Structure 1
C-alpha cells in the first residue's frame, strides 16, 4: 500500500476519477456560453483526436476554478506542431472556448484537431501552398485551433463558438473545419 492510500490523502488521479465518475454534464445553451467561460461550470473537460498522429486526449483540465497544470501540459503537447514536434503553450482562453463550444453542441464525439500550434517554419510552408494562411496567424502564438466534428456541420460548430463571444471564429466549409481563437471577437467565412 502506498503512503497516500495509508494516510487517507487524496491523489490527483483519485480526485479526477471521482469527479469524472460523478459529473453530470448538462449541455449549456448558447445563451449562457459567456457565463461558462467566466467559470460557471465546476468541471471542464476536453476530448480530441489527431488524425495526423493517431493520438487521443480526454482530460479534465479545470475543476472548481482551478486549472490542473498536468492536464494543461498534456493539452499543449497534444496540440503541438505535428510536422516537427515543436510544443508551445496553448492559450487557456482558446482551450476554454473550444470546451464551451463543444459542450453547447451536445455531443460526446471528440474534436478532430486539424491544426493547433504552428511553428514559424510550418506556417511559412503552408503560406507558400495556400493564400488562406495568415502571415501572423494566431496559430503561431498558440492562440488558435482548427477543429472538425463528423456529427456537426461547420455552421453548427461556428454558431456555438460565436455564442461564446470570446474570440475569432472562421468557417471553412469547403475544407470542413472551424477555426477558433482567443483574439478579438470577429467571424469570417461561409
Structure 2
C-alpha cells in the first residue's frame, strides 16, 4: 500500500468529523471550532512506557471540566524524571481528545512526553537538537504521542485539521507533537 493510500485524506477527516458533530457550547473565549464537535463527553486514554501507568478518564461532561479528572491527568502527564506536575492546558487536552475521536480508534495514546520541567528540557536539549529552548512542554501546553494503529501522517492530519495549535510530525521517531500554541506545522 502506498503512503498516500494509508494516510487519511482531509476530505475523509472532515466527513468523519461532520458525522460525529454535536453542538456543544465552547468553554472558553476564542474557542476553536473543534470544541463544538467535541460532543457531550471528552475523555483521554493513554499509557506511559516510562512509568507503566495507564489512564482512561472522562475529563469534561456537558460543558464542564471535571476538576478531579484534570488532577489525575496532570499527575499522569507529569515530568517523571523530576516527579513534578503542573496543570496541563485544557486546550491541549481538547486537541488530543478531538484528534483521537476523529481517528476513530479505541487504542490509547502512548504518551512519550507531557509536562517537562526546565531541568528536564535542558537535559533533553543537550542530547538532541530537536528540543526547543522555550518548549511549550514546560508550560504544560504540549504532548508527544504515538499510536500503533495510526501513522504519523494520519495523526498529524487529524490534529492539524482543527487549526487549533502546533503539530509536529516526527516520522523517524514515530510520534506526533500536539500543542495549543500558535497554529503551525513542521517535520522533525
TM-score class normalised by the smaller sequence = 0.7 to 0.9
C-alpha deviation, 1:40, in angstroms: 4.8
Q: Secondary structure at the match of 1:150?
A: coil
Q: C-alpha offsets along residues 3-52 of structure 1, whole Å, 9 cap, x if unaligned?
A: xxxxxxxxxxxxxxxxxxxxxxxxx8245695441365100011000000
Cα 1:94–1:142 shift into 2, 3 Å: same
Q: Could you say which residue in structure 2 is the equivalent of 1:52?
A: 50
For these two proteins, the number of residue pairs brought into alignment is: 164
Give the drift of 1:164: 1.2
The equivalent of 1:157 in structure 2 is 155
Distance 2:97 2:121 in 1: 25
Task: Report the Cα distance in structure 2 between the residues aligned to 1:62 and 1:86, rounded to whole angstroms.
Answer: 24
Classify 1:119/1:40 alpha carbon distance in 2 versus 1 (closer, same or farther; 3 Å). closer
Matches within 5 A, 1:1-190: 29-30=16-17, 35-38=33-36, 40-189=38-187
Report if aligned partners of 2:17, 2:37 keep a CA contact under 8 Å in 1: no
Residue matched to 1:8:
none
Extract structure 1 runs of 4+ deviating beyond 3 A: 30-36
RMSD: 1.9
Indicate the larger mover: 28-37 or 73-82.
Answer: 28-37
Are the aligned partners of 1:37 and 1:164 in contact in 2 as well (CA < 8 Å)? no
Larger radius of gyration: 1
TM-score w.r.t. the length of structure 1 is 0.82
Q: Which residue of 1 aligns with 2:27?
A: none
CA offsets 1:63-115 (integer angstroms, 9 cap, x no match): 00000000011000000001111001100000000000000010000000000
Unaligned runs of 5+ in 2: 1-14, 23-31
Q: Which runs of 5+ in 1 are unaligned?
A: 1-27
Contact 1:30 1:160 in 2 (8 A): no
